[in-house]
Amino acid sequence: MQLQRYPIRVGIIFLCIFICLFLFVIKLSLIQIFRSSYLSEKADKQHNHVVDLEPRRGTIYDRDMRALALNVAAYSLFANPKAMSVKQKTAAVSKLATVLGMDSEALSKKLLRDKSFVWLARKIPQDKYEQLKSVKMHGIGFIRESKRFYPNGELAAHVMGFANIDNAGLQGVELEFDKYLRGTKGVAQFLRDARQRDLMIEKDFIAPKDGHDVVLTIDETIQYIAEEALNRAYQKYNASSASIIVLDPRTGEVLAFANRPTFRPDMPEKSPPGNRTNRAVAFVYEPGSVFKIVTATAALEENATNEQEIFFCENGRYLVGNHILKDAHPKGKLTFRQVIEQSSNIGTVKVAQRLGPDKIHEYASRFHFGKKTNIGMTGEVSGWLKTTSRWSKTSIGAIPIGQEVTVTSIQLAVAIAGVANDGVLMKPYFVKYIRDANGVIVQENKPQVTGRVMRAETAVRVKSILQGVIENGTAMMARIKDVSAGGKTGTAQKVVNGTYSHSKFVASFIGFAPVENPQLAVVVTVDEPHPAYYGGVVSGPVFKEVVENSLKYLSGKKGGSNAL
């Protein structure tokens, strides 16, 4: 009866209900058809917590399996801003800023983000973690990660390089072999309740794959010996930079490799870019008199002279083209052997004139000057050795004595190692092998011959002359008691504003020992030393200290047997 009394009103009500139901159906249909994927994905995110499982980054070892870089446990601090009240955020900022030494404003900005997860501090020091782990702060927690640790600090920094906060290699071995070291991340998926609490019910799991280990040819002890000696010279002579390389001339293995200035691999951001530059492969310079090994080799190999032939050294002044060539210490008559021992520019150039430009260029090329050594270090440059078509009338008085040509320290190391190795050049390398987590070798480097510079009998003669450089010539400060050694000094004027400077020099020394059975080949380069600047004075003693201490170490290793 009541319905009949108000037919229009009832009709309106039913129409409204119908319209609402129709709209609900349309809305649900739209959600089901067009937004189902989005809502399903959102639900998955709310109820499924995916955790990346970090793999162990591979360890870098020296040749005797002493760790040079490894991963250690570290804790990172995170927050869930959505789960925190304003009061809780303020309290957290106050506590964390004090302990971590962080900017309060920066922390506040992170906690104001409308997110369920934000990093507050990654891989904090252990002592900071110990202070904070007992402090209860709502919405704040720790995640256990790992960070790169270099137990020897700066040792071999330019070989090792460094990795970033996420353990990705950025320089050196860490970068060049990153694809082997980094491993593969794993994944674990857990269910969460409506309040975003982990139920610890595992839904899915993919185990991480640990990175491979890299074993270097570097010997930690020889590396330490070399760096200590280089550092003393670098500081004593107020040099702008310095480098040292120690090779096994028989194999090309790099036993030590260092530059100054240097940096700490665990804190690279605290050093300027110049400190992190690998100068031994990336910087070039005119070699000066160490380059005379090219002329000496060519002269003996081509039978252009012999050790006893006498050359008149013009008492220190000799006209080449329109240029007066000078000797630092004027000489009269010298045998060819003495020309090299006393490092006479004039005597060397007279021999070079007899050989001619083509032969000098040929032998410089045989030593691989002007070419990369392909040692495998990022940033290596090739130096400059111009073709004879580009020589001027005075080039024959410059290139044979190490001017108008540029080299790197690694090129000089390979060259002197070739002399020591009876004229055979070996490709330098610094990684012995790479092994997986089970110890299986996945890649291995072997000694590789890259060319022959001279006959073995010629090499014996060159080595004898270079032994005389140390015993009777310009490198007497490199003499080692009871050890035969050979080498060559270099004191090169630097080019400043297009002319040779009389105050800036590169002091270098290249050498090997023992002469009878060379185990070590060394190059020492010191840039802009002062007040002393001669290669025999500045760099020769570094060679002496490194070879003397390294040979003692090697003789005591494994009961005195050859340990390399």
List residues with catalytic annotation.
Answer: 289
415 within 8 A of 381, measured Cβ to Cβ: no
Place of tokens 């009866």: 1
143 within 8 A of 76, measured Cβ to Cβ: yes
Residue 202 to residue 236: CA distance in whole angstroms: 63
Q: What is the DSSP string of 422-470?
A: TTEEE--B-EEEEE-TTS-EEEE----EEEE-S-HHHHHHHHHHHHHHH
Residue 460 to residue 125: CA distance in whole angstroms: 57
Helix (H, G, I), strand (E, B) or coil at 500: strand
Please give the single-letter amino acid code of residue 361.
H
255 within 8 A of 218, measured Cβ to Cβ: yes
Pairing of strands 48-53, 310-312: unpaired
Residue 354 to residue 228: CA distance in whole angstroms: 43
Peptide bond into 428 cis (omega under 30): no
Q: What is the DSSP string of 68-96?
A: EEEEEEEEEEEE-GGG--HHHHHHHHHHH
Q: What is the DSSP string of 162-201?
A: EE-TTS-EEEHHHHHTHHHHS-B-EEEEEEE-TT--EEEE
